[in-house]
A and B are shown apart, each in its own frame.
Chain A
């Protein structure tokens, strides 16, 4: 079986599990959770293992290469000690918020409310915060997954096509169209918000997840096009010409030469789009209503309320952060590559 069959199989099984997890919770929670969880786990494994191996094999070359002949720097013992002390101190500072979030999320509401004891460990571990948070944010978590996965795949496929055309096919006006497309990723989205809002209302998708998907696909196009264009620009044109001599046309060259080469490009783009769309906020807060909003919005509203039990938003923050964090830790190398090759959407 090829990698693609694996991926499709894994996606099917995995989504079945997710579906069961959410559809059956109401009637028979334990039953639904068990079946859904097992199916989801199997599906994810089927999907992830080949992808993981592939990504591991392909991505061996590190982003940051340390020259081998670099002399040991400033060999003085004291300087080295100070260096490590500084690094460890900075690491603690960066991890401080993580500590508080995890600790607070595991406290009981009463204990979390004791402001002066924020830094103490919980006296008893209270997993209930996560249960409650999952109950309250579960539907939104599902929305986030639907939104992110569909918008990522569509914008990646379209971006790949655009990149292929822009990098390898000459057509009149390409030099003008490309920067004009690129500008679309820098505009403050506030400046198109009302027309977009109205447009989504006009096509009767106001307050649904689909309007949000459309917005993310369209405004994701510039960045995916940019990454793929730069990626394909490094594919030697001679290779494509050889394909053309063998009789392949526009689609044939893409199918048999460009696409097989572009899987690492797809990994970079998919990771990038996944994190960006998952984390996006402005569109999400304007285009959806309570039943269709993604988790970032639900979280901000949960934390923004007046009387808050702080263990709940903290558990919610963990839930909202976990998917992107896992992607980052597992595939960090590609994340960084996307960062360096592409750009940051704000």
Chain B
């Protein structure tokens, strides 16, 4: 996605010079754009304001002019801490995992397809068309099709029968259990192998004297080791499943992620000799740490009893359908980007002894970073607010694959709890805005600086 105007040559930044003086034409210009501006002001910002206000009231029920009492943030408190908000919390977790795997899957698959198609392939147009055509379908159609394909009795499950094998028995979206695991069940050798591979990556970075990369790679990996290890040691057969987490710990996780991210960024700043910037960044980090140490997170309303959440296996089916539909989009973006890399640059790398693989990983991929970013933003905001795919695949009342976008509809139009629905919608808006606004600002600023 490209928010800013084309930069090549860029004759467009120059505006009509004769418009400086006041003349009827300028008035016409403003008059012509005014209707759209007013419409968007009302339909976007006015309506958001209304939703925000309603989310702070106790409006429930059908009648339009019902009495609405201001009840402060009670609706939000209910969502995040009351027992009735459990479905919403489940959905937040679902959205997190769905976004993670959907965006990641689309980016990786799209990149692979683009690289393969870039190899001077015969019939490239045909392949491109095939990979991209699901983009032209609606999520409702995709959902209907995949609902049929993921039918436990047939569809994908019956595929092995074609080859003479037994049919699968996998329950796809009808599955109701979260993904759990036990390291003891994973054979000891496999676990050790995973650890060895992780260690190998760290040591390779050290060997190459890329100490900054070692730290970046090492800290998350060390945490991963610790988690695996503690999970191993503390395993108790009688206990609940592993691989899920307790909602009561969520504030702690959030603080940990913020602090670790800040510290890693500080390290990289120090590494590049930017002491003052690191110092400035250190202040908020210390504040967050102090605030946490002083028990700041206890002030947040939290659930009374432990609630375990994890990755729902049912989501796998939805993720497959979504990746099937949208990976063509990333392929198209990447392919256009790859074709935009000057051939001389690749040639120079080849002369310097890069293999074809290294050319892609070292030259092309870094140049595609802006494309990766914008594709991730576009896909991310789609997946955060997704509604139609889930509606068509599983209906609006199938908890294991439900997301906030679906529950807004359910709360509003099935349970008539308009105030609670508004609160969920506002949470959704905040999530999307926190992804999109920084992106919009940076890309438009980059355009003005030209």
**Which positions in A face B, CB cutoff 8 Å?**
63-67, 69-70, 72-74, 83-84, 86-87, 90-91, 94-97, 100-101, 104, 114-119, 158, 161-162, 164-171, 175, 177-184, 186-196, 198-199, 201, 218-219, 221-222, 225-226, 229-230, 232-238, 240-241, 244, 249-251, 275, 278-282, 285-286, 296-297, 299-300, 303-304, 310, 313-314, 316-317, 320-321, 324-325, 327-329, 332, 335-336, 339-344, 346
- Most-contacted residue by chain A among B148, B405, B424 (CB, 10 A): B148
Instruction: Write 21 A-B pairs (CB below 8 A) sorted by A numbering.
Output: A87-B121, A100-B148, A100-B155, A101-B148, A115-B155, A118-B154, A170-B15, A181-B40, A183-B44, A186-B440, A199-B47, A201-B64, A218-B39, A237-B12, A237-B14, A237-B16, A241-B17, A250-B26, A281-B139, A300-B391, A304-B395
| Assembly CA distance A236 to B382 (angstroms) | 35
Contact status B2-A249, CB under 8 Å:
no
Q: Nearest chain A CB to B22's CB is how many angstroms away?
A: 11
B343 CB contacts on chain A under 8 angstroms: 67, 69-70
Question: B201 interface residue, CB < 8 Å from A?
Answer: no
* CB-CB contacts below 8 Å: B1-38 with A: 1-6, 9-20, 24-26, 28-30, 32-33, 35-37
Q: Nearest chain A CB to B168's CB is how many angstroms away?
A: 12
B395 CB contacts on chain A under 8 angstroms: 304
Closest B residue to A244 by beta carbon equals B18
Question: B113 interface residue, CB < 8 Å from A?
Answer: yes
Q: Nearest chain A CB to B338's CB is how many angstroms away?
A: 9
Contact status B129-A329, CB under 8 Å:
yes
Question: B248 interface residue, CB < 8 Å from A?
Answer: no
* CB-CB contacts below 8 Å: B67-119 with A: 113, 116-117, 119
Q: Nearest chain A CB to B126's CB is how many angstroms away?
A: 8
B16 CB contacts on chain A under 8 angstroms: 168-170, 237, 240-241, 244
Contact residue among B3, B43, B140, B382 (Cβ-Cβ distance under 8 Å from A320) = B140
Question: B51 interface residue, CB < 8 Å from A?
Answer: yes
Contact status A188-B425, CB under 8 Å:
yes
B139 CB contacts on chain A under 8 angstroms: 279, 281
Question: B401 interface residue, CB < 8 Å from A?
Answer: no
Contact status A321-B137, CB under 8 Å:
yes
Binary interface encoding of chain B residues 38-50 relative to chain A, with 1 for a CB under 8 A from any of its CBs, else 0 = 0110011111101
B385 CB contacts on chain A under 8 angstroms: 188-190, 346
Binary interface encoding of chain B residues 116-147 relative to chain A, with 1 for a CB under 8 A from any of its CBs, else 0 = 11011100100111111111111111011111
Known: A170-B15, A171-B29, A344-B1. A282 touches B388 (CB 8 A): yes
Question: B263 interface residue, CB < 8 Å from A?
Answer: no
Question: B421 interface residue, CB < 8 Å from A?
Answer: yes
| Assembly CA distance A219 to B14 (angstroms) | 29
Question: B159 interface residue, CB < 8 Å from A?
Answer: yes
- DSSP majority for the A interface? helix
Contact status A285-B116, CB under 8 Å:
no
Q: Nearest chain A CB to B440's CB is how many angstroms away?
A: 6
B202 CB contacts on chain A under 8 angstroms: none
Contact residue among A73, A199, A343 (Cβ-Cβ distance under 8 Å from B119) = A73
Q: Nearest chain A CB to B323's CB is how many angstroms away?
A: 11
Contact residue among B12, B28, B444 (Cβ-Cβ distance under 8 Å from A232) = B12
Known: A169-B19, A344-B378, A346-B381. A175 touches B418 (CB 8 A): no
Contact status B46-A195, CB under 8 Å:
yes
8 more contacts with CB within 8 A, not counting A115-B154, A188-B385, are: A86-B116, A87-B117, A187-B429, A192-B47, A232-B12, A233-B6, A241-B16, A281-B392
Question: B412 interface residue, CB < 8 Å from A?
Answer: yes
Contact status B382-A344, CB under 8 Å:
yes
- Most-contacted residue by chain B among A70, A303, A328, A342 (CB, 10 A): A303
Question: B266 interface residue, CB < 8 Å from A?
Answer: no
A118 CB contacts on chain B under 8 angstroms: 154-155, 158
| Assembly CA distance A135 to B250 (angstroms) | 52
Q: Nearest chain B CB to A91's CB is how many angstroms away?
A: 5
Contact status A296-B138, CB under 8 Å:
yes
Binary interface encoding of chain B residues 53-64 relative to chain A, with 1 for a CB under 8 A from any of its CBs, else 0 = 010000000001
| Assembly CA distance A222 to B15 (angstroms) | 21
The 8 residue pairs across chains A and B that have the minimum distance between CB atoms: A233-B12, A279-B138, A115-B154, A346-B382, A188-B385, A281-B388, A115-B153, A328-B136
Closest B residue to A178 by beta carbon equals B444
Contact residue among A70, A251, A313 (Cβ-Cβ distance under 8 Å from B28) = A251
Q: Nearest chain A CB to B392's CB is how many angstroms away?
A: 4
Contact residue among B46, B143, B154, B440 (Cβ-Cβ distance under 8 Å from A300) = B143
A70 CB contacts on chain B under 8 angstroms: 120, 343
| Assembly CA distance A188 to B424 (angstroms) | 11
Closest A residue to B122 by beta carbon equals A84
A91 CB contacts on chain B under 8 angstroms: 127, 130-131
Q: Nearest chain A CB to B336's CB is how many angstroms away?
A: 6
- Most-contacted residue by chain B among A119, A164, A187, A325 (CB, 10 A): A187
Contact status A84-B140, CB under 8 Å:
no
B285 CB contacts on chain A under 8 angstroms: none
Question: B428 interface residue, CB < 8 Å from A?
Answer: yes
Contact residue among B29, B121, B386 (Cβ-Cβ distance under 8 Å from A346) = B386
- Most-contacted residue by chain B among A90, A235, A238, A249 (CB, 10 A): A90
Contact residue among B11, B51, B167 (Cβ-Cβ distance under 8 Å from A116) = B167
Q: Nearest chain B CB to A179's CB is how many angstroms away?
A: 6
Known: A169-B26, A218-B43, A303-B144. A343 touches B382 (CB 8 A): no
Closest B residue to A192 by beta carbon equals B47
Contact status B37-A181, CB under 8 Å:
yes
B174 CB contacts on chain A under 8 angstroms: none
A222 CB contacts on chain B under 8 angstroms: 40
A324 CB contacts on chain B under 8 angstroms: 136-138
